[in-house]
Amino acid sequence: MLKAVASRLNDLADRGDRVARVGGDEFAVLSAKITSVRQASAFAKRIIATLSETIPFEQKKLGVGASVGIARQGPDASTPPELLSGADQAMYMAKQDHDTHVKIYDKNAFPVRPTLEDRRILIEAMESGQILPFYQPKVRIDTGQIVGFEALSRWQHPTRGTLSPSHFLPMINELALQGTFMAHTAKHVMQDMSALVADGLDPGQVSINMSEVTLATLLGRKELFMIIDRYPELRQYLTFEITEDIFIARSSDIIRRSIQMFRQAGVRISLDDFGTGFASLQHLKELEFDELKLDTGFVRDLGIDPAAKVLIEGLVTITKGLQVELIAEGVETAQQRDLLREMGCKYVQGFYYGAAMPFQETHLRLATGGLAQRAVVAEQSVA
């Protein structure tokens, strides 16, 4: 496919134009003869039309889609790196334009995107141990006993302090580092669990949030298996959390197969943020899973919106019937805890019981009895 695209771009280019493969499935065309926006747009449309013609391969015909970003030499982009960066940003925006798939770079109108330098910094932060999993406790509501943790990464930045995932996950996704980040997180979680077990502590069920890239690619699945295979005795403590997005993912069939394989290997599967995306009761019947996590929005509306109570009671009944566990996320007040307990919810998670904490504190909490923080301490941390 890459060879066919390269050949077609060469055929389209005028004499003196430069055609190059930038990397992956990205190509660039440099032309000094196109002098207007109209000419550039017309050329981009010709590229899309030409590349959209099917490519014969063995006994098949491969369908190819293309998006084109255009950068013009001038105040917005004067040097070759600026031109290439501008075209790349425009191409990224063009992917979102389902009508033309063509965008022209405008420095003032385009949001600032991560750079290759940002990519280097992120990779270095992972390799140096600045980005590590913290652990938020999952608690049995009637006893206050910790029954597990959710691994939530934090970046202990040298100048900006401790950063939550919202500060760096968007960059990881945009820079296509999901697989690297997922492997990095899984490796450290397994090491931490191994240390807990070696000290005679029971970590309970430790959850890792799974990316679509990891579950949807053979390479991602293989790399994850290689990590957990180093610790076969720890699989009983391991849970993979997936979101409802898998139901509309392009590779949903591969993802479901990956889920099936991990369950067969002894890893539990949790369906995260249920009720906010595209999952339905039909999906609950189709997907093999062990745990359902109720989205924070339902818990937040307890005592405010009567519908929230009705829906949670329904899900408590459904999960009991399916013989899977239900965990309510986002518990922040004693009232929410009490209402959930009255409705029959056994397990909860949220700031009422403590925020995500570094491994050393997690170890200490388990070593001193494994009880969740009392409400008064948690409420102070929320404030």
145 forms beta bridges with 371
Query: What's the mean per-residue pLDDT of the chain?
Result: 88
Could you tell me how far CA 271 lies from the centroid of its own chain?
14
Q: Select the more confidently predicted residue: 184 or 281.
A: 184
What is d(CA 143, CA 69) in angstroms, rounded to the nearest whole number? 58
Amino acid making up residue 310: V
Residue 172 · residue 228 · CB < 8 Å:
no
pLDDT band at residue 359 under the 50/70/90 scheme = very high
- pLDDT tens per residue, range 13-57: 988 899 999 877 889 999 988 888 899 999 999 999 999 999 998
Residue 75: pLDDT band (50, 70, 90) is: confident
* Of 67, 66, 65, the residue nearest 94 (C-alpha): 67
Over residues 335-339, the mean pLDDT reads: 94
What is the share, in percent, of the chain residues with pLDDT greater than 70?
Answer: 92
Percent of the chain predicted with pLDDT > 90: 56
Confidence of residue 251 (pLDDT cuts 50, 70, 90): low
What would the mean pLDDT of 262-271 be, rounded to a whole number? 93
Average pLDDT over residues 290-309: 88
Model-level pTM greater than 0.75?
Answer: no
Res 277: pLDDT? 58
In the predicted model, is pLDDT for residue 135 greater than 50? yes
Q: Residue 103 burial by CB count (10 A; 0-12/13-18/19+): exposed, middle or buried?
A: buried
Q: Which of 50-54, 92-96, 243-247, 360-364 has the lowest mean pLDDT?
A: 243-247
Mean pLDDT, to the nearest integer, of 182-189?
96
**What pLDDT does 156 receive?**
96
The residue among 168, 344, 169 whose CA lies nearest residue 243 is 169
For residues 339 and 302, give the distance between their C-alpha atoms in angstroms, rounded to a whole number. 8
Rounded to an integer, the average pLDDT of 339-364 is 94
Burial class for 220, CB neighbours closer than 10 Å (0-12, 13-18, 19+): buried
Q: Is the pLDDT of residue 110 over 80?
A: no
In whole angstroms, give the CA distance from residue 98 to residue 210: 28
pLDDT tens track for 274-294: 766 555 676 677 778 899 998
Q: Please compute the mean of the pLDDT values over residues 81-101 and round it to a whole number.
A: 83
Distance CA 199, CA 197 (A): 5
pLDDT at 92: 82
Q: CA 353, CA 330: separation in Å to the nearest integer?
A: 10
Q: Give Cα separations from 229 to 166, 190, 225, 256, 267 (angstroms).
A: 30, 10, 6, 20, 11
Torsional sign, CA 67, 105, 107, 17: positive
Ordered domains of the chain (ranges, CATH): 2-104 (3.30.70.270), 116-382 (3.20.20.450)
Q: Please tell me the predicted confidence (pLDDT) of residue 47.
A: 94
Residue-level pLDDT at 381: 36
